[in-house]
A and B are shown apart, each in its own frame.
Chain A
Amino acid sequence: MSYKGKFRVWRGEGGEGRLEDFTVEVNEGEVVLDVIHRLQATQAPDLAVRWNCKAGKCGSCSMEINGKPRLGCMTRMSTFTEDETITVTPMRTFPVIKDLVTDVSYNYQKAREIPSFTPPKDVKPGEYRMQQIDVERSQEFRKCIECFMCNNVCHVIRDHEENKTHFAGPRFLMRIAELDMHPYDVADRKDSAQEDHGLGYCNITKCCTEVCPEHIKITDNALIPMKERVVDRKYDPLVWLGNKIFRR
């Protein structure tokens, strides 16, 4: 069954732009990205939208639909009423290149700032021996498809551009937690998580977890455990004393 859906879509380059109204055909079983493509094919051939897999696995079509960060390809039209006007805008935290396409290079910059996996010097590749229970915590974080919606929704940088210089965002604080929990990683990541990557800015309001399309429990399983590890290192006198006495 088809109907004419009402859409308001952000059009413009750089920060300049406006919301434009469109009426587009919507068919049963479609997702928002399908309708954006129809809009592109029929009414706005120059509409820019980034997409790739259409299966919720590439993380390309991140956008904001009725104000909520969503993947365009995973947002079913059946979740809206037929008379509802659907507003589609680019991610608000990142600079706009054109229309719905944002410049997400902030994320790549932050990724480069994290030292890579650092195994012990005396263990060579092929000699790693780990049990499943030792690595399954980190494996949850490997589900990340890097859609960057967690970084987009995080108010630390969404509402405070000035924090971008010293806050890595939930995606990369999760990466630090993943490496810190790895049985064979020997790099010291606790001090740098707090001092260099801004873990202390996180006030655990869990928006990153709410928007994650892979349902990774970013806050409970990565950010809070990492905060507790930082407390061990920097704020807990008993742990400090225990480490001194038992030379751990």
Chain B
Amino acid sequence: MTQQTAESPARKQRAQLKVRTLRTDRWWLAPALTFAGLTFFLIYGFWAIFDKSYFVEPYIAPFSSPCLTTACPEGARLFGWAPIGDWFALPPGLIILGLPAGFRFTCYYYRKSYYRSFWLSPPACAVGEPHKKYTGETRLPLVIQNVHRYFFYGAILIGAILSYDAILALIHKPAGLGTWILLINAALIVLYTLSCHSCRHITAGRLNHFSKHPLRYRAWTFVSKLNAKHMQLAWASLFSVMIADFYVRMVAKGVITFPFA
């Protein structure tokens, strides 16, 4: 196998255009907005995880749910349960953070967005990338992206817990604005999770004979329709979880105090 460098004879046979791109449109806008959106989410998430105002009856902030230590207020514990006990002194949100964070980090849509906006590989189509070498997802650490389906299983669990939190809020405070914010957030999180490419594969994508599995085929058809909106659901659920989390914390801090908060 002949190793060819950027200055190899084969490369020199291409049109020797000395510019990174000849695109005249605003190709930089989408990666710039993505960079700003994801950076904002990371900064907010860092603040939220260490913020202690995560519970006010009957709301629990999504970034801190489920609350599994004895440090959690009794009403905030999942089924009144504190399996972690009192040894975990760090913020309770850190215990489960890995599941939703891993799910989004290894998500096929987010991979596209951060490869483009953070790693510039490539920043946009037909725009040269700055890296001299490229091995993609063939070796460590990026080959680990292949564990996405395991994070999907975890994300289903998180989606179910957030739905449970929202239903509890609905039972105890049906007219509360926070209840409806949590309900919308739970719905978007569940839809984003179900629209995942791994979910599509697990329902029936791995089969070659759809006709022999009509129920799985119907599930695949449904997930495929959701999957077509995966990017929109990814962004909608990213912002909804931040809005819901921030709202609950503001109510817990007493910043938001109106009667139907």
Chain A residue, CB-CB nearest to B24: A66
Q: Let me know if A156 and B136 touch, CB within 8 A.
A: yes
Within A189-248, which residues are at the interface with B (CB < 8 Å)?
198, 200-207, 210-211, 220, 224-225, 227-232, 234-236
Whether B205 pairs with A69 at a CB distance below 8 angstroms is no
Chain A 68-80 interface 0/1 with B at a Cβ cutoff of 8 Å (1 = within): 1100000000000
- Whether the pair B198, A200 counts as a contact (CB closer than 8 A) is no
Is B111 among interface residues, defined by CB-CB distance under 8 A? yes
Q: How far is the CA of A189 from the CA of B27 in the complex (A)?
A: 36
Query: What chain B residues lie within 8 Å of A141 (beta carbons)?
Result: none
Query: 8 new A-B pairs (CB below 8 Å) besides A12-B15, A90-B15?
Result: A87-B24, A133-B211, A155-B129, A158-B128, A203-B121, A211-B125, A231-B149, A236-B149
Q: Which 5 A-B pairs have the closest CB atoms?
A: A67-B22, A95-B13, A67-B23, A200-B138, A207-B125
Cβ-defined partner of B227 (8 Å) among A67, A202, A220: A220
Bound form: Cα–Cα A135–B143 in Å: 31
Residues of chain B having any CB pair with chain A under 8 Å: 1-6, 8, 10-17, 21-25, 108, 111-112, 115-116, 121-122, 125-129, 131, 133-138, 142-143, 146-149, 197-198, 200-201, 205-206, 208-211, 217, 227-228
Chain B positions within 8 Å of A165 at CB level: 1-2, 4
Provide the main secondary structure of the chain B interface: loop
Q: Are B136 and A203 in contact (CB under 8 A)?
A: yes
**Interface residue? A83 (CB, 8 A):** no
Closest CB-CB distance, A146 to chain B, in whole Å?
19
A133 near B125 with CB under 8 A, answer no
Residue from the list A95, A211, A220, A224 in contact with B14, Cβ < 8 A: A95
Q: A201-B136, A224-B108, A224-B197 given as contacts; is B125 within 8 A of A68 (CB)? A: yes
Contacts of A204 in B (CB 8 A): 108, 111-112, 115
* A66-B23 contact given A203-B111, A220-B197, A231-B149, CB 8 Å threshold: yes
Choose from B3, B210, B217 the contact partner of A162 (Cβ within 8 Å).
Answer: B3
* B16 & A17 in contact (Cβ 8 Å cutoff): yes
A175 within 8 A of B: no
- Binary flags per residue of A156-169, CB closer than 8 Å to B gives 1, else 0: 10111111111000
CB-defined interface of A82-98 with B at 8 Å, one 1/0 digit per residue? 00100101101111100
Separation of A206 and B15 alpha carbons in the complex (Å): 24
